[in-house]
Chains A and B, each alone.
Chain A
Amino acid sequence: MFRLILSLAYKNAFLRRSRALLLIVMIAVSMSMMLALEGLYDGMTASMVEKTKRSDSGEVSIYAKEFRQERTIQENIKDAKKIQEELLLRKDVKSVSLRLQADGLCATAKKSSFATLIGIELEDEQGFGDFSEFLETGSLTLRGHKTVVGKELAKDLKLKIGSKVIFSTQDMSGEITAVALRVSAIVQTNNIALDKGTMYVNRELLRKLLQMPKNSATQIAIRSDNTRLAQELSAQYPDLDVKSFLALYPMMEQMQEITVIFNSITFFIVMLVVFIGIMGVTYVSVLERVREFGVMRSLGMPYSAIKSQILFEALFVAMVGYILGAFFGFSALYYLENYGLDLKEFADGLESFGYASVLYADMKYDYFITSFAAIFIASVLSVLLPLRRLRKMSVIEATKLQI
């Protein structure tokens, strides 16, 4: 009997071709748009998270206990080099970068601004987060007294490549000290805090300027896939302040949650439309064929078989819509993942929120699984009302039979 039910369902599902086609197109278009939107939302957030990790914290950062509260260089990690070597021996650690950072005043002949000078090793940073990808203009070098400046800070101080700038701060003994620097490059990390107030110099230059001990650092940033690394390192270095990315950037966690909410709302709206679409078509289709169902019941077809037939009719159309939607959605996501959505015209606005001007999608296979499940459930739910209507009718009423 199952084959008969399937055959009846298949033939009836596509009997009224234009109606079935409309429903299929509606499901396919709304689903592919939804997938593309979901991918873009996730891609925007993932890109922001990744750039923040690459430019600053990594997955885990280690500081001296009071550094993050006091922001003074006296709170530094004295044996940072040794810790770096220990960390690099771990298989779950991909790279480690030591940084020195000092808050101070950055001044040109015409303007000054509060800034943070970060001492880095370019080679380490390249391995840590492809630092050269942040380059906007200039040549990425920190030799001598060269400095790399964040884009917004450069804009604020009207700095160009080759501009001279004085950075003054306090050294380890509390004395005011200053260094003259020449801008070699301007970078944009899309980490708003860094772009607005950071300059980079060679770590050794900054160490000497601040008269800090050799092998010391204010931050040890670590890249790793181990999600429990922060807890493990906290236990290993109880005298240091070990923080995970989300502990350092709680806003990012909120961003991720907001993205999930946006995606859920989009998903709900699309699935509601799909549900109403399938239910409308199924309802009309069932009402048109009440007599036919009555005849089949009078011939001895059980109600359960008719129920299955109607359910399969809805599922056949919905699944064709799903397959097309998945195909177009995959194509859109593939394009957006590889080529991105170019919104350079809105670059200023996007960048002020920390987004890149070219948005790339993030394709997750979950999208296709949850869409399949939702469309399946929507199909099942959508036949309940038509079936209820049919169930209420007696065989004679349904057929108006004169047997």
Chain B
Amino acid sequence: MIKVENLNKYFYKGESREVHALKNINLEIKSAEFSLLSGASGCGKTTLLNAIGALDTIDSGEIWLEDVSIGTLSEEQRTKLRLEKIGFVFQAYNLVPVLSVFENIGFIMQLRGFEKEFIAGRVEELAKILEIEDKLHELPAKLSGGEQQRVAVARAVAAKPKIILADEPTANLDSLNSQRLMEMMQHLNESEGVSILFASHDDYVKQKVKRIITMQDGAIIDS
């Protein structure tokens, strides 16, 4: 489903402080995979997630999401691709503060123009799975960190993307909330058939995923 071929990415290219952030990356992620990008801080996990998520440009190589080559897309085409095919879970949750939990979960579905009834049904379904059904009318500021991250997961999965990219989703959570979140994401991976690619240091995440891709100094050393 995702194929990365000979991917290279530089920061400050052509300057004396040039950094070769991603070195000749080759990677394939299949449908419904539950995998982890692992490695020390600064090894290039986030840069690779940004590139796969069509948030950042690349210097050479190819990234294929199904039959679309991300590297050749314009900014607006990449925005559309993110909307239709990629879900994001951020370390800092990044919910829209003025929207209720219900509206946050339905945010991407509304952007995609889904029917109101479908959105309502889907939000309730996910809220039940993620145990936030009693928080639907609250604003994000009134939720705990664990609850906010579950809302973010629900938002990411709601419109049924091809893949969810999650960068350190448990970094701001205590161990109990981290475990609950990972169990719920595992359940969604199995029940919804959505691929999830984590970037994390968390040992508990390592235990839960089915595949670990290890990076070092911008290169994949084990996948």
- Distance in Å: Cβ of B26 to nearest Cβ of chain A: 21
A156 contacts chain B at the CB level, 8 A cutoff: no
The residues in B between 76 and 120 inclusive whose CB is less than 8 angstroms from any CB of A are 76, 79-84, 86, 88, 90-91, 94, 96-99, 103, 107-108, 110-113
A7 contacts chain B at the CB level, 8 A cutoff: yes
Task: Select one of A292, A301, A403 contacting B97, CB under 8 A.
Answer: A292
A300 contacts chain B at the CB level, 8 A cutoff: yes
Establish whether residues B90 and A301, one from each chain, have CB atoms under 8 Å apart when the complex forms.
no
Output the nearest chain B residue to A1 by Cβ-Cβ distance: B111
Output the nearest chain B residue to A300 by Cβ-Cβ distance: B83
A284 contacts chain B at the CB level, 8 A cutoff: no
A302 contacts chain B at the CB level, 8 A cutoff: yes
Establish whether residues A4 and B83, one from each chain, have CB atoms under 8 Å apart when the complex forms.
no
Interface membership of chain B positions 116-152, coded 1 if the CB is closer than 8 angstroms to chain A and 0 otherwise:
0000000000000000000000000000000000000
Task: Select one of B80, B91, B98, B165 contacting A300, CB under 8 A.
Answer: B80
Complex interface: chain B residues within 8 A of A3 (CB): 110
Establish whether residues A15 and B98, one from each chain, have CB atoms under 8 Å apart when the complex forms.
yes
Establish whether residues B90 and A403, one from each chain, have CB atoms under 8 Å apart when the complex forms.
yes
Establish whether residues B110 and A299, one from each chain, have CB atoms under 8 Å apart when the complex forms.
no
Establish whether residues B99 and A401, one from each chain, have CB atoms under 8 Å apart when the complex forms.
no
Output the nearest chain B residue to A296 by Cβ-Cβ distance: B96
Interface membership of chain B positions 27-55, coded 1 if the CB is closer than 8 angstroms to chain A and 0 otherwise:
00000000000000000001001100101
Output the nearest chain B residue to A11 by Cβ-Cβ distance: B98
Alpha-carbon distance between A295 and B53 when the two chains are bound, in angstroms: 13
A8 contacts chain B at the CB level, 8 A cutoff: yes
Alpha-carbon distance between A300 and B50 when the two chains are bound, in angstroms: 14
Chain A contact residue count (CB 8 A cutoff): 27
Establish whether residues A403 and B88, one from each chain, have CB atoms under 8 Å apart when the complex forms.
yes
A308 contacts chain B at the CB level, 8 A cutoff: no
Chain B contact residue count (CB 8 A cutoff): 34
Question: Known: A8-B99, A402-B90, A403-B49. Contact between A300 and B55, CB under 8 A?
Answer: no
Complex interface: chain B residues within 8 A of A403 (CB): 46, 49-50, 53, 55, 88, 90, 165, 167
Alpha-carbon distance between A297 and B82 when the two chains are bound, in angstroms: 9
The residues in A between 271 and 317 inclusive whose CB is less than 8 angstroms from any CB of B are 291-292, 295-303, 305
A260 contacts chain B at the CB level, 8 A cutoff: no
Alpha-carbon distance between A403 and B90 when the two chains are bound, in angstroms: 5
Question: Known: A295-B90, A402-B168, A403-B49. Contact between A301 and B79, CB under 8 A?
Answer: yes
Task: Select one of A8, A302, A303 contacting B96, CB under 8 A.
Answer: A8
- Distance in Å: Cβ of B89 to nearest Cβ of chain A: 8
Question: Known: A12-B98, A396-B50. Contact between A302 and B76, CB under 8 A?
Answer: yes
Alpha-carbon distance between A15 and B46 when the two chains are bound, in angstroms: 33
Complex interface: chain B residues within 8 A of A15 (CB): 98
Query: Contact residues of B with A, CB < 8 Å?
Result: 46, 49-50, 53, 55-56, 75-76, 79-84, 86, 88, 90-91, 94, 96-99, 103, 107-108, 110-113, 155, 165, 167-168
23 contacts between A and B (CB under 8 A): A1-B110, A1-B111, A7-B99, A8-B96, A8-B98, A11-B99, A292-B94, A295-B96, A298-B82, A299-B107, A299-B111, A300-B80, A300-B84, A302-B76, A302-B80, A396-B50, A396-B55, A396-B56, A399-B94, A401-B50, A401-B90, A402-B46, A402-B168
List the 6 closest pairs (A to B, CB-CB), nearest first: A300-B83, A11-B98, A295-B94, A300-B82, A4-B110, A403-B167
